[in-house]
Amino acid sequence: MSIDTHVSDADEGPLESALHVVPFDVDPPYEPELDDLDTGEFDDRFLDRELSWLRFNQRVLELAENPSTPLLERARFLAIFTSNLDEFFMVRVAGLKRRIAAGVAVRSASGLMPKEVLQQIWAEASVLMARHAGVFREQLIPALAAEDIQLVRWEDLDRDEQRECKKIFKERVFPVLTPLAVDPAHPFPYISGLSLNLAVLVANPKTGKEHFARVKVPQIFSRFVPLGNQRFVPLEDVIGEHLKRLFPGMDVKAVHTFRVTRNEDLEVEEDDAENLLKALEKELLRRRFGPPVRLEVEETIDERVLNLLVSELGVREEEVVRLPGPLDLRGLHDIADLDRADLRFDTFLPSTHRLLAPVESASPVDIFKAVGRSDVLLHHPYDSFSTSVQRFIEQAAADPHVLAIKQTLYRTSGDSPIIDALVDAAEAGKQVLVIVEIKARFDEQANIRWARKLEQAGCHVVYGIVGLKTHCKLAMVVREEPDGIKRYTHIGTGNYNPKTARMYEDFGLLTTDEAIGEDIAHLFNNLSGWSRNARYDQIMVAPDSVRSGLIERIRAEVAHHQAGRPARVRIKANSVVDEAVIDELYRASRAGVPVDLLIRGICSVRPGVPGLSETIRVRSVLGRFLEHSRIFWFENGGEPEAYLGSADMMHRNLDRRVEVLVKLPDVDLVAEVGSVLDLAFDPGTAAWTLGRDGAWTAVEQTGDAPLVSMHDVLVKARRKR
């Protein structure tokens, strides 16, 4: 279960030219079409994207606050909130600071200057961080204790537990610790980003002179030390109580924990694959030394120690966050993983899609025969990834009739069976083309490793088009069959990652549709060669046609509505920020077209504004699975059509990435995704609604029937099937 890792979806700086390092993250000002939206009446029609993201993380926090959320899942949501906010500061806040330092005073679409956005971020984030700490101390710890799971501090331990901690420290922790003193011979040490540290004041008992030292809390050990009987103590407490062993002969005067968040975004462009690899590896080293953007300290910290940290780290006073300990609650993932099924979401094992499930034999279904009979719309995690997409690639690698496999890889797991299957296919003599996006934020190192492994196995590895990230999720198998060559294609909304596919909600289409196969074949040629075909029949491809294609279809709904035919727009996405698309939705709303948006994260649309967006509804669903799919559904005069794919409505997706949306080729598939949207917008489904002021409000129960979880409904439906 996860909601994190998604600030990595944040916009990146524009890729302007080869061999150019992008100095800051800034989007070009939006220039609206000259119509009645540009009269000044609706200058504030866009919500700020950064503040919208903070309110997404607030919804994550509300899941942790909700007593109806299973207790260990509440702990997990607190951990997710922490990692989400860490990444937000590492990328988005760092980008704003770079922009301000560079003097790039570009007003955002929301009308705010960078300094104003940063001020509001700190105001809201500070409240959220304090609220997060309060939930942990005042709600979670007592609730866990009531279930005999105790998170305690050193002073709560009995003698036997203290002796056990002393043994753990002596045998395991002490050998890996390195105290770093600060004096004229020892400069202030480098503090790595997101590491937990102890600031220690020691004094010479003979002279009384005080000295500062830093001790890094090792990340190789559990954040919370298990003491038996489901009792845990923070690792820094164990270290702090045994500092005499690190500083023999000195008096330990004070110990305080602190944590630094640094700018860890990458700023690199490429001119060719080999230079890109080298540049990225250099940047990955630089990332460790990015400037600080936040300093978290315990609220009881000695002012002298704090002043030293602020001075040596170069942080501003407003970038210091005082919190009650313990800091860094990412370690609550370990608590959430405890073997207490009664305190977690009901166990759910994805099932094989009905069209891919064996009927009588225990042997796996022949994927090619099954897809040849009927298109298959997969809905993960309800439909198993391993028995569908993974098996598709594995069978292709082993099938002697398969001539070629072509695939994009953006993020995958560390022990990916997809990578292994591609290696097997290449070693078996098949033509294997892999488009590896090694600039996938925070996965760069892993992707470099996989790229080289694939190259060594004989795969053709390319890195897409200069200046664009390849974010689309595509796989194509070319197979020789009795009636000729046939293409089998998979187009998805999520990464080829078997691990995240068990937690992320995504759609994928397996098809032999000839028009789709022809389009995808052309696109792979564009990505690997010099072809520049930008015309496709069944797919939209960014940066060429996703924005314009969606705008064209939104305008078609307006025409249907004006002609008295059924008209409606429904979009499901992670984020909607692009001003051109939003303005088109406003125009559709002003014409009377109903517009429903299901947005997990950032939304710059301001719904319900009289004269502008009265027919626009915006909902958000968060829960046990991470809503990740992108769906674009149009009523189309009574003959609905739908597209799914990899693109969110953000500048980087539409202008600086290769993205693909595919038109679903069958009315039954359109109805299937439509039913998911119906459930999401049902008044009885638990969700949040967005107000015109940018605030999100949880849907309240009406009548006697309790609200239902969208995820639970879909899990139960799969179990029945």
Contacts of residue 570, defined as CB under 8 A and 6 or more positions apart, other chains included, come to 595, 596, 597, 598, 631, 632, 633, 634, 674, 677, 681
C-alpha–C-alpha distance, residues 235 and 326, integer Å: 10
DSSP per residue over 637-690, as a string? GGS-EEEEES--BSHHHHHSEEEEEEE-SSHHHHHHHHHHHHHHT-TTB--EEE
Q: Which helix (H) or strand (E) holds 258?
A: strand 251-262
Contact 117, 48 (CB under 8 A): yes
Contact 440, 464 (CB under 8 A): no
Query: Which of 392, 364, 365 lies closest to 378, judged by CA?
Result: 392
C-alpha–C-alpha distance, residues 664 and 516, integer Å: 10
Q: In this structure, what token pair is assigned to residue 228?
A: 């038996």
Contacts of residue 416, defined as CB under 8 A and 6 or more positions apart, other chains included, come to 450, 496, 497, 498
Instruction: Please state, in angstroms and as integers, the Cα–Cα distance from residue 407 to each residue in 273, 384, 388, 394, following that order.
Output: 18, 20, 15, 13
C-alpha–C-alpha distance, residues 654 and 648, integer Å: 8
Contact 430, 403 (CB under 8 A): yes
Q: How many CB atoms lie within 10 A of CB 617?
A: 16
DSSP lists the bridge partners of residue 697 as: 689
What sign does the CA torsion over 460, 461, 465, 469 have?
Answer: positive
Helix then strand then coil, in percent of the chain rounded to 5, is 40, 20, 40
In the three-class reduction of DSSP (H, G, I as helix; E, B as strand; rest coil), residue 86 is classed as: helix
Contact 595, 616 (CB under 8 A): yes
Catalytic (active site) residue 471: yes
Torsion of CA 181, 186, 188, 191, to 10 degrees: -70
Contacts of residue 563, defined as CB under 8 A and 6 or more positions apart, other chains included, come to 637
Contacts of residue 497, defined as CB under 8 A and 6 or more positions apart, other chains included, come to 411, 412, 413, 416
Query: Which of 514, 511, 527, 506 lies closest to 645, judged by CA?
Result: 506
C-alpha–C-alpha distance, residues 642 and 631, integer Å: 7
DSSP lists the bridge partners of residue 234 as: 224
Contact 470, 435 (CB under 8 A): yes
Query: Which of 689, 690, 681, 560 lies closest to 631, judged by CA?
Result: 681
What is the DSSP secondary structure assignment for residue 131, as one 8-state letter?
H
* Residue 381, preceding peptide bond in cis (omega within 30° of 0): yes
Query: Which of 75, 715, 716 lies closest to 340, judged by CA?
Result: 75
3-state secondary structure 510-566: EECCHHHHHHHHHHHHHHHCCCCCCCCCCEEEECCCHHHHHHHHHHHHHHHHHCCCC
C-alpha–C-alpha distance, residues 8 and 4, integer Å: 9
C-alpha–C-alpha distance, residues 172 and 386, integer Å: 38
Q: In this structure, what token pair is assigned to residue 431?
A: 């033509």
Q: Looking at 333, 379, 471, 490, which residue is catalytic?
A: 471
Active site residues: 471
